Amino acid sequence: MKLLLRIIAAVAVTLLLAVIAIWLKFGYGERAKDLTSDPLLPASALETVVELDYPPGNIAVSPDGRVFFTLHPDGSPPQKVMELVDGTPRPYPDAAFQAKRSGAPYFDTILSLRIDRQGRLWTLDFARFGMGVPRLLAFELSTGKVVHDYAFPAEIAGRGSMLNDLQVSPDGNTIYIAETSPLVHHPALIVYDVTEGKSRRLLERHQSVMPENYVIQAPGRDMLIFGIYNMRIGVDSIALDRNGEWLYYGAVTSDRLYRVRTVDLRNESLSADELANLVEDYARKTLSDGITTDVEGNVYLSDMENSAVVMLSPDETLTTIVKDQRLRWPDGFSFGPDDYLYVTCSSLQHVVFVTKARMRKNAPYHIFRFKPGGQGISGH
């Protein structure tokens, strides 16, 4: 009996020391400065698009107003990709695609989706952080049929990876992906050549894709897992300018936005160091998740700490467009017809590492839209 007690005590001490070690290494961080100001638009500018039982992830709105969105994987939703049909969410392209099936493609773990200018809906599957097969699927909007299917090799998106978000070039031939890598902390950008069916992993662990030591202060909760592990999140925010010449990107827990010319990302003759030297430290930003651009060159960013959407103008001025407590972790963006900007609110402070009961208690979850004043291109 005494031996058993000694074993239990030793295990308890070991666990306690492990917890302390984790807290000392990962359980702290700086507080980001609030960069928001009085908003240009009143809270009444936010129009409710839909109320949901599960938190939404990202969104893509077609030029003719079709609304596609994902349900956030962290919410363990029963469906993965949805289309809003007459105000009601429906599985897209159908219910069968939402779960594993043999001999045919299906959705595993979908977060991001985009509509290109060729009339295709692209979905990005991070496949349980690379435990499955991460892949890109493209659907022809006019038919709902799969027209492109690419499985990423392990050297591009292996175990521990997270293909978080994507952007498609105006000609539809190149896809740019933010690989967040929250588990193994090797974030990178991935460039996929649609025509060649070839992907490359770039800027891995470069300063521009790495998180900084900030603690996300979401309303009502600091994002510390079990109170001891700080969620430092690498490159996530990613957007193209409207001509496809510049890729803007940054880590969630970083106050810097970077950019690089897409022609340089596509240039396979550049060495890793040569490409790194071409990255520009563009401007200061809020801690952000979603990002998009308009035709005037403005960059829109979500600010999940302050329930706001902010705009970074070409002269690097940061303006608060709208700010309201209903914007619970504003996440994904897409412009739609009539220059509406759609925004999902994933409310991750009520979803990540909490009980299902708590998540359900904080429903409904929302998608909003508003007119920020800039002209956008649908689907991005």
In tens, the pLDDT along 45-89 reads: 999 999 999 999 999 999 999 999 999 999 999 999 999 999 999
Residue 134 and residue 127: Cα distance in Å, rounded?
Answer: 5
Strands of 174-179's sheet, edge to edge?
163-168, 174-179, 188-193, 198-202
Confidence of residue 15 (pLDDT cuts 50, 70, 90): very low
Looking at the chain, list the stretches that DSSP marks H as alpha helix, in order from N- to C-terminal side.
2-26, 127-130, 262-265, 272-276, 356-361
Which of the 8 DSSP states describes residue 214?
B
What pLDDT, in 10s, does the model give residues 364-376? 999 999 999 999 9
- The set of residues, in sequence order, having a beta carbon less than 8 Å from that of 216 and lying 6+ positions away, is 222, 223, 231, 233, 252, 253, 287, 304, 305
**Contact assessment for residue 141 and residue 118, using Cβ atoms and an 8 Å cutoff:** no
Collapsing DSSP to helix, strand or coil, 237 comes out as strand
Domains of the chain: 31-370 (2.120.10.30)
pLDDT above 50 (res 23): no
Burial of 45 (0-12, 13-18, 19+ CB in 10 A): middle
Tokens representing 24? 């000392």
Give the model's pLDDT for residue 113: 98
Percent of the chain with pLDDT over 70: 92
Give the model's pLDDT for residue 31: 86
**Contact assessment for residue 212 and residue 253, using Cβ atoms and an 8 Å cutoff:** yes
Q: Which of 280, 292, 327, 351 is nearest to 43 (CA)?
A: 327
Strands of 280-284's sheet, edge to edge?
235-240, 246-251, 256-261, 280-284
pLDDT above 70 (res 24): no
Task: Tell me the pTM.
Answer: 0.93
| Mean pLDDT within 33-47 | 97
pLDDT above 90 (res 251): yes
pLDDT above 70 (res 30): yes
pLDDT above 90 (res 26): no
β-partners of residue 56 are 71
- The set of residues, in sequence order, having a beta carbon less than 8 Å from that of 27 and lying 6+ positions away, is 224, 227, 228, 229, 230
Give the model's pLDDT for residue 115: 98
Mean pLDDT of the chain: 92
